[in-house]
Amino acid sequence: MAPRMVGGRATPRDLVLAGTPEFVSDAALLSVILREDDVALGARLARAHPIPTGLWSLRAEDLTVHEGIGPAKAAALLASVELARRASLNQVVDRPAISTPEDVVSLCEPQLRGCDREHFWALALNTKNRLIKIIEVSIGSLSASIVHPRELFKEAVRSSAASVVVVHNHPSGDPTPSSADIHLTQRLVRAGDVLGIEVLDHVVIGEGGRHASLREMGLM
């Protein structure tokens, strides 16, 4: 589809439809989602919530304070952000090997940055420790995640995983494992032993690349 020209220039919406969204600015992409012909609203949002990190922690109330954004437009933008988050979760092209806690942080921290809830994931690995898929096990409250071993291992078995590395974020920014983290890790290790799927590590991610490995700390 050729882009429609307005005043000698293609509109952001039609550049997207023409398959060339890479030529559209962040502010203009936001205007397309919000169905605004003027990019001014998108520009205000981009300044208030820098892309991409500022979008991951958006709530409806953060958006509706802006003039021109009601519940419908807020819902459209939040849905778009969630779709982007889900796509990025499994868009791993080279299936990297996961050998160290730093490998885990490099893979997961960009998607967990700025989240105000605990996200608990499992990295399903093959026999060569290469990533098969990222399993999103649960999303918790402001201070805790609710994790059932059966949910984690159900997906690991479906993925034919030989082992898993579990990872979650601490919204407080402090990656120090809590007593609940330690207890959960021990439960997961026992469950994995029964199923023949080894739990290699549990990595807790804080802010600024700070992290803790329960394996390295001798807690599992």
Within 13 Å of residue 41, how many CA atoms lie on the same side as its CB?
Answer: 21
Q: Which residue has tokens 């997207």?
A: 16
Task: Give the residue extent of every domain in the chain.
Answer: 5-89, 94-213
Residue 54: its H or E element? helix 53-56
pTM: 0.64
| CA 21 to chain CA mean position, Å | 22
Q: Which residues, other chains included, contact 138 with Cβ-Cβ below 8 Å and sequence gap of 6+?
A: 119, 120, 145, 146, 147, 148, 151
Q: How many residues make up the chain in this entry?
A: 220
With DSSP H G I counted as helix, E B as strand and the rest as coil, what are the percentages for the chain, rounded to 5? 45, 20, 40
pLDDT (tens, 9 = 90+) of the chain, 220 residues, equals: 444 544 456 788 888 888 888 888 888 888 899 888 878 888 888 888 877 667 777 888 888 988 889 999 989 988 988 887 777 665 555 678 999 999 999 999 988 887 888 999 999 999 999 999 999 999 886 556 678 899 899 999 999 999 999 999 999 999 999 999 999 999 999 999 999 999 999 999 999 889 999 999 999 9
Q: In this structure, which long-range contacts are made by residues 76-81, counting pairs with CB atoms below 8 Å and at least 24 apart in sequence?
A: 76/33, 76/34, 76/35, 77/30, 77/33, 77/34, 80/33, 81/55, 81/56
**Measured CA distances, 174 to 58, 72, 107, 188, 209 (Å):** 21, 36, 19, 22, 11
Topology, domain 94-213: Cytidine Deaminase; domain 2 (3.40.140)
